[in-house]
């Protein structure tokens, strides 16, 4: 019996766009498929999105490029210099797309001053940029429901008290400097941290109505690990409390 032949995947042939030059010479022949698919999808992105160019008519490679470009993480991921920045509010994309000169732009290196870009991202768009499972708690639940914590994209539970208990079990020492400047150690330190968080949460819950979503983030900006004494220190005097429902 003849062996069934698997269908060979075929790329489209891409001509170089008019005026495309490299090293001062006009390009002849066809573009490499990987480059061609990117150029094709980039140039026809809006038509594919609208359906003027049917998604099914794309080659597998083009579909893959399109999916990448069309996903929210990609759309809201910006570059400045050699670093990437993510805009969780997704508002910058809408603002930039309203300006024909800035539509679709993701590399903002030559569009904003370094200090303005930093200000924009750290203050306006992503004030929680530095928050992660090791230095923050994020409560996320509806008032009236059981108190819940948020898990980030990697699945890490953003609950610092649970994290501290784990850290303690792993053999590290815990130090917490409270709002009066008093240093607490061990189990007492974790209790102080829990009390601090529950006070902040109580304030947010009192301000909310029944059924309102509470997204309260507490970021411990001053965290430190001393490898010589194997001690982790959290300072409750340098804390950023964000009501994410009201963050732009």
- Give the binding site for other proteins (CB under 8 A): 19, 21, 24, 91-92, 95-96, 98-99, 101-102, 105, 110-114, 116, 120, 124, 248
Give the nearest distance from C-beta 155 to other proteins in angstroms.
31
DSSP-assigned letters across all residues of the chain = -PPPPPPPP-PPPEEPPTT-EETTEE--SEE-HHHHHHHHHHHTHHHHHHTSS-GGGS-HHHHHHHHHHHSHHHHTEEEETTEEEE-TT-HHHHHHHTSTTTTT--B-TTTS-HHHHHHIIIIII-TTTT--TTTEEEEEEEBTBPP-B-B-TT--B--HHHHHHHHHHTT-EEEEE-TTS-EEEHHHHHHHHHHHHHHHHHHHHHHSPTT-EEEEEEEES-EEEETTTTEEEEETTSEEEEEGGG--
Nearer to other proteins, 77 or 157 (CB): 77
Kindly state the smallest distance separating residue 27's Cβ from other proteins, in Å: 13
Least distance CB 119 / other proteins (angstroms): 8
Based on CB atoms, which residue is closest to other proteins, 31 or 120? 120
Nearer to other proteins, 103 or 188 (CB): 103
**24 or 181: CB nearest other proteins:** 24
Q: How far is the CB of 122 from other proteins (least distance, A)?
A: 14
């Amino acid at each position: 019996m003849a062996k069934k032949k698997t269908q060979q995947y075929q790329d489209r042939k891409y001509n170089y766009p008019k005026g495309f030059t490299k090293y001062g010479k006009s390009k002849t022949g066809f573009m490499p498929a990987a480059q061609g698919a990117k150029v094709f999808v980039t140039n026809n992105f809006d038509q594919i999105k609208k359906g003027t160019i049917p998604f099914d008519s794309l080659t597998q490679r083009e579909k893959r490029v399109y999916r990448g470009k069309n996903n929210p993480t990609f759309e809201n991921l910006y570059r400045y210099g050699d670093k990437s920045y993510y805009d969780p509010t997704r508002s910058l994309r809408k603002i930039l797309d309203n300006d024909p000169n800035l539509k679709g732009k993701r590399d903002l290196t030559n569009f904003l001053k370094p200090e303005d870009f930093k200000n924009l991202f750290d203050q306006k768009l992503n004030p929680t940029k530095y928050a992660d499972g090791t230095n923050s708690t994020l409560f996320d639940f509806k008032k009236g429901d059981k108190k819940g914590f948020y898990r980030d994209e990697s699945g890490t539970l953003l609950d610092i008290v649970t994290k501290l208990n784990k850290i303690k079990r792993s053999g590290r020492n815990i130090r917490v400097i409270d709002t009066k400047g008093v240093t607490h150690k061990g189990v007492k330190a974790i209790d102080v941290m829990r009390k601090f968080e529950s006070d902040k949460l109580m304030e947010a819950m009192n301000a909310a109505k029944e059924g309102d979503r509470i997204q309260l983030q507490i970021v411990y900006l001053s965290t430190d690990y001393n490898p010589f004494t194997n001690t982790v220190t959290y300072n409750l005097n340098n804390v950023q409390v964000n009501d994410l429902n009201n963050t732009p």
